[in-house]
Amino acid sequence: MPNLTVLDDVRLGAQSLLSTAGDLATPSLRIGVTGLSRAGKTVFLTSLVHALLHGGHLPSLQASRSGRLIGANLTQQPDDDVARFALEEHVHDLLHNRTWPKSTRQISELRLTLRFEPTSTLARTLGRTSLHLDLVDYPGEWLLDLPLLDQDYETFSKEALSRARDPERKALAQPFLDAMRQADGAAALDEPTASRLADLYTQYLRACKESETALSMLPPGRFLMPGELEGSPALTFAPLDKPVDGKSGKSSLYGAMEHRFEAYKRVVVKPFFIDHFARLDRQIVLVDTLAAINAGPGAMRDLRDALSAILACFKAGENSILSKLFGPRIDKIVFAATKADHLHHSQHDQLEAILDHLVTDARKKALFSGAKVETLAIASVRATREASAKTGSDTIGAVAGVPIKGETINGQTFDGEREVAIFPGDLPTDPGKLMGPTAKTYPLRFVRFRPPKLDTRPTAKPGLPHIRLDRLLQFLLGDKLA
């Protein structure tokens, strides 16, 4: 639990009481949706909402399968100071342009009101047949900032510099490390030096995010998406080695960096925690596990550390009436490996097992405190179909789809129009082989596929094709729709 003041705790308690009072009329469930780099968060949220609005194929969602889910409609969101998720624009991109929606770089929100027939006699008597589903979409980088609330500048610097000097990152971090080595932390603050160090550190983080190494641990998150804070002192700092003699006054370079780090926590991280994160009831974390597998053991270890840091952020536990008096507690968390449609279905269990292996330690901690954790392999929008290919006398499972124009495999460049069958490779049956002392890279052959061509006529089958979105919804919503 991040280090908060008594006043912060009072504020959280007041928010919870107001929320509980509002729930007496129509209960609400607030779900956070986030993802690590390129996990497909915008596509996921678009597909999930579209399925609920249009009666998509959701056989594993018991309320839908039994016919008790009567319908859903968009209603006014509870927070007027938060951007609305651009659902209609994203649906148009998928259905009519066959392009993937652009990723979101700010927090956004959407409220659906679900109408359902409850199973209990008491609920039917009380008329509780509606549920407000508040979906809060926010960048995964912001979630990875929360551990900073419990760190001082010296601890942050030690961890950040240790990562920067790791063999997987050192080449990307070298310009920053060289500049930092030349800077004197004990010397008086020089703004051009501070700005240069902050710029080089930001360039290093961006290089990690965009590189083929698929690295995930990239705090401070706002360095990559500064928004209105760009150029402010709160974003003009970088990690430094502590001066050897330990002398670093407030007016020194080290002292100024320390002050700005604390300002970042106060101005950026704590408001996000109090205003948004601490109000969540349940959480979805999307992970591009395949990209990390493809990048090798270093990326897998980095992803494991990121997932552990994420799960440690949650004030996990049973979301009871009593707990609401003292602040909400997240009671269900889903980690979902996206893009399962890039693999033949025979590989989906392995993908799920690999993600489960990644979060094992953190998962045990969350379960111990009362939260339920689920890992799933999903495809928010299925862009491929099952296929088979011959290799000698053997038949292997493949996937077929239309690669995005310009994608290449083995020197072949695709035109964005023709469907091709691709065998991406096999995942190891033992997840430990991806990260252990003898771990090796399992090169997989992936391309980015275009969204599928769908029948958009009014008589067409509703919903977007997906893989296991219904299982995810049953885990998150099933008890609330009973």
Average pLDDT over residues 31-50: 94
Residue 367 has pLDDT above 70, yes or no: no
Split at pLDDT 50, 70, 90, the class of 394 is confident
Q: Which pLDDT belongs to residue 325?
A: 47
Within a domain: 395: no
Split at pLDDT 50, 70, 90, the class of 108 is very high
Q: Which pLDDT belongs to residue 370?
A: 65
Residue 426 has pLDDT above 60, yes or no: yes
Q: Is residue 257 located within the same domain as residue 187? A: yes
User: % helix / strand / coil in the chain, to the nearest 5?
Assistant: 45, 15, 40
Q: Are 228 and 106 in contact (CB under 8 A)?
A: no
Q: Where are the alpha helices (DSSP H) in 296-422?
A: 297-313, 321-325, 348-358, 360-368
Residue 11 has pLDDT above 70, yes or no: no
- Select from 241, 267, 293 the last residue of a domain: 267
Q: Is residue 173 located within the same domain as residue 129? A: no
Q: Is residue 252 located within the same domain as residue 356? A: no
Residue 472 has pLDDT above 80, yes or no: yes
Residue 42 has pLDDT above 50, yes or no: yes
Q: Is residue 161 located within the same domain as residue 108? A: no
Split at pLDDT 50, 70, 90, the class of 240 is very high
Residue 10 has pLDDT above 80, yes or no: no
Q: Which pLDDT belongs to residue 168?
A: 87
- Select from 249, 267, 285 the last residue of a domain: 267
Lowest average pLDDT, out of 114-123, 133-142, 210-219, 321-330, goes to 321-330
The structure tokens 């003009």 sit at 236
Q: Is residue 27 located within the same domain as residue 171? A: no
pLDDT digits 0-9 by tens, 43-75:
999 999 999 999 989 999 999 999 999 999 999
Q: Which pLDDT belongs to residue 228?
A: 81
Within a domain: 435: no
Q: Is residue 78 located within the same domain as residue 183? A: no
Q: Which domain holds residue 343?
A: 6-138+276-382+467-477
Task: Give CA–CA dist 427/293, Å, rounded.
Answer: 9
3-class secondary-structure state, position 35: strand
User: Which CATH number goes with the domain that contains 128?
Assistant: 3.40.50.300
Lowest average pLDDT, out of 10-14, 175-179, 404-408, goes to 10-14
Pairing mode, if any, of strands 412-413 and 408-409? antiparallel
pLDDT digits 0-9 by tens, 269-301:
999 999 999 999 999 999 999 999 988 898 898
- Select from 240, 267, 294 the last residue of a domain: 267
pLDDT digits 0-9 by tens, 220-235:
999 998 878 888 999 9
Q: Give me the number of domains the chain comprises.
A: 2
Residue 260 has pLDDT above 80, yes or no: yes
Residue 212 has pLDDT above 50, yes or no: yes
